[in-house]
């Protein structure tokens, strides 16, 4: 992969790139620990979107005028950027969608409806986000398929032996999260894909969390599908990517019908466009694509390897610090983890933890994190969750840790 020149990592300098990080919440400096829900946007991303609307706004593809040609060029150039970012073979393998949820729905509705038949089985895992469960359940209801679920151990790791036992001649698809948004577990996705391919089973990787924390090379992983949510990658909401191997995307029917995805339309017969347009019906989120491109550029100037290194150090520091707080219990202790720490404080409800911390300017998430089956497996209804990004600091973690004893005092 082409190496992009990087500037040395200076977290204070980086923080200045994100306007929101200088905001005060309840009179206290904002400590943003809700990055697994969505990440903050750098000035570069915000400016790119503003710039587009101020000076370049036009609809893409259909126009013959200069503005439309400019908008189309930006839109397609970003596809190239994303292709390079993921090390996909071709830019046709990059489909713009709203985010991971839409990407999975696209694959379930297009690939699933076309190629899966009654009695076939789909393997998921116990730690999936609802968006990697519900579309498959809907497909199962419609086509009389079966869902099989890889169990986890108490640390929050997949039981790979059990996974292998689930594979059978009826297994026709596997859809697995790379990094769990609730536990931070990094799944051995390459190993899973390798095993699946021994049985010629295609694998979709839910990359909603992983893309911002580690370098992803879809050719090296050899995944058949990979999903991105732009807003978790420091880009805008409402834009994401489905990567798919070309030979699979080519044989899949369109997901939605409308403008742009057709070659010709008549009342007798409609023929469809080639990739990637076949899957991009209607006017897309052009400004979102512009912002996503700016986010990828921004990340490239720092370097995902540099980001991963900094975040890993920060994550270890946070784990040690939280482990030493009396009464605080970390949920999810997998050997391979990053960025996400779920926890409980005695029997204080996670929502109360979140509300009290907010008084101190600390934004965390509390709830089931859209992983209710995982919560059920762990015998919980909710956790509190700290999720880190490369603009977070050790002093923020210290401040967070100092706020916890007060929480216990309030609820004692």
Q: Just list the catalytic residues.
A: 370
Rounded to a whole number of angstroms, the minimum distance from the CB of residue 240 to ligand PMP is: 6
- 129 scored as a contact of ligand PMP (CB under 6 A): yes
Give the nearer residue to ligand PMP in terms of CB position, either 356 or 384.
384
CA distance 104 to 108: 6
Give the nearer residue to ligand PMP in terms of CB position, either 79 or 231.
231
Q: Nearest-CA neighbor of 178 among 139, 228, 140, 220?
A: 228
Give the nearer residue to ligand PMP in terms of CB position, either 228 or 348.
228
Give the nearer residue to ligand PMP in terms of CB position, either 61 or 368.
368
For residues 144-203, which are near ligand PMP according to CB under 6 A? 177, 181
At residue 154, what are phi and psi to the nearest 5 degrees? -70, -20
Instruction: Give the one residue of 35, 39, 42, 101 binding ligand PMP; rule: CB under 6 A.
Output: 101
Q: What is the DSSP letter of 337?
A: B
x-marked contacts with ligand PMP along 308-347 as a string, rule CB under 6 A: ----------------------------------------
CA distance 82 to 94: 7
Angle at 384 between CA 378 and CA 385, to 5 degrees: 100
With CB under 6 A as the contact rule, which of the stretches 9-17, 126-134, 163-171, 373-381 interacts with ligand PMP?
Answer: 126-134
CA distance 285 to 271: 24
Rounded to a whole number of angstroms, the minimum distance from the CB of residue 274 to ligand PMP is: 26
Give the nearer residue to ligand PMP in terms of CB position, either 328 or 331.
331
Full DSSP string of 132-156: GTHHHHHHHHHHT-EEEEE-B-TTS
User: What count of Cα atoms within 13 Å lies in the side-chain half-sphere of residue 180?
Assistant: 33
Rounded to a whole number of angstroms, the minimum distance from the CB of residue 175 to ligand PMP is: 10
With CB under 6 A as the contact rule, which of the stretches 3-11, 65-73, 99-107, 148-156 interacts with ligand PMP?
Answer: 99-107
- 34 scored as a contact of ligand PMP (CB under 6 A): no
At residue 95, what are phi and psi to the nearest 5 degrees? -110, 125
Is the CB of residue 103 less than 8 Å from the CB of residue 243? no
How many Cβ atoms are within 10 Å of 59's Cβ, its own excluded?
Answer: 15
Furthest C-alpha separation in the chain:
73
Rounded to a whole number of angstroms, the minimum distance from the CB of residue 185 to ligand PMP is: 11
Give the nearer residue to ligand PMP in terms of CB position, either 101 or 110.
101
For residues 221-280, which are near ligand PMP according to CB under 6 A? 229
User: What count of Cα atoms within 13 Å lies in the side-chain half-sphere of residue 341?
Assistant: 25
Instruction: Give the one residue of 39, 42, 78, 131 binding ligand PMP; rule: CB under 6 A.
Output: 131
- 403 scored as a contact of ligand PMP (CB under 6 A): no
Rounded to a whole number of angstroms, the minimum distance from the CB of residue 338 to ligand PMP is: 13
For the chain, how many residues are written? Answer: 412
Q: Are strands 28-29 and 24-25 parallel, antiparallel or unpaired?
A: antiparallel
Asked whether the bond before 276 is cis by omega within 30 degrees of 0, the reply is: yes
Query: Total residues contacting ligand PMP (rule CB under 6 A)?
Result: 14
Is the CB of residue 279 less than 8 Å from the CB of residue 258? no
Interface residues with ligand PMP (CB under 6 A) are 36, 99-101, 129, 131-132, 177, 181, 206, 208-209, 229, 370
């Amino acid at each position: 992969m082409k190496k992009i020149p990087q500037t040395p990592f200076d977290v204070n300098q980086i923080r200045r790139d994100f306007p929101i990080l200088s905001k005060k919440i309840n009179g206290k400096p904002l400590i943003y620990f809700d990055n697994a829900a969505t990440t903050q946007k750098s000035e570069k991303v915000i400016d790119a979107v503003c710039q587009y609307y101020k000076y370049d706004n036009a609809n893409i593809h259909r126009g013959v005028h200069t503005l439309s040609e400019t908008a189309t060029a930006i839109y397609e150039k970003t596809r190239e950027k994303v292709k390079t970012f993921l090390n996909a073979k071709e830019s046709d393998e990059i489909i713009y969608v709203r985010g991971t949820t839409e990407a999975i729905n696209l694959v379930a509705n297009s690939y699933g409806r076309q190629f899966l038949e009654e009695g076939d089985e789909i393997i998921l895992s116990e730690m999936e986000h609802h968006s990697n469960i519900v579309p498959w359940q809907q497909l199962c209801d419609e086509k009389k398929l079966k869902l099989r679920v890889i169990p986890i151990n108490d640390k929050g790791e997949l039981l790979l032996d059990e996974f292998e036992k689930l594979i059978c001649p009826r297994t026709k698809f596997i859809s697995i999260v790379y990094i769990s948004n609730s536990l931070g577990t990094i799944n051995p996705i390459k190993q899973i894909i390798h095993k699946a391919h021994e049985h010629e089973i295609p694998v979709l990787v839910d990359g909603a969390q992983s893309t911002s924390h580690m370098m992803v090379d879809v050719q090296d992983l050899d995944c058949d599908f990979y999903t991105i949510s732009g807003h978790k990658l420091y880009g805008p909401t409402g834009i994401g990517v489905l990567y798919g191997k070309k030979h699979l995307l080519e044989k899949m029917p369109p997901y939605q019908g409308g403008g742009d995805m057709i070659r010709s339309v008549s009342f007798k017969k409609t023929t469809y466009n080639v990739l990637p347009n076949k899957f991009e019906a209607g006017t897309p989120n052009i400004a979102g694509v512009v912002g996503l491109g700016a986010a990828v550029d921004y990340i490239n100037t720092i370097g995902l390897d540099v980001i991963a290194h900094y975040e890993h150090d920060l994550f270890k520091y946070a784990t040690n610090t939280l482990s030493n707080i009396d009464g605080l219990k970390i949920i999810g202790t997998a050997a391979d983890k990053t960025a996400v720490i779920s926890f409980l404080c005695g029997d204080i409800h996670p929502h109360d933890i979140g509300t009290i911390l907010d008084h101190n300017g600390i934004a965390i998430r509390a709830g089931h994190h859209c992983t209710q089956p995982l919560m059920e497996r762990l015998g919980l209804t909710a956790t509190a969750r700290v999720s880190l990004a490369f603009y977070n600091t050790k002093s923020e973690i210290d401040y967070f840790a100092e706020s916890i004893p007060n929480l216990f005092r309030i609820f004692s």
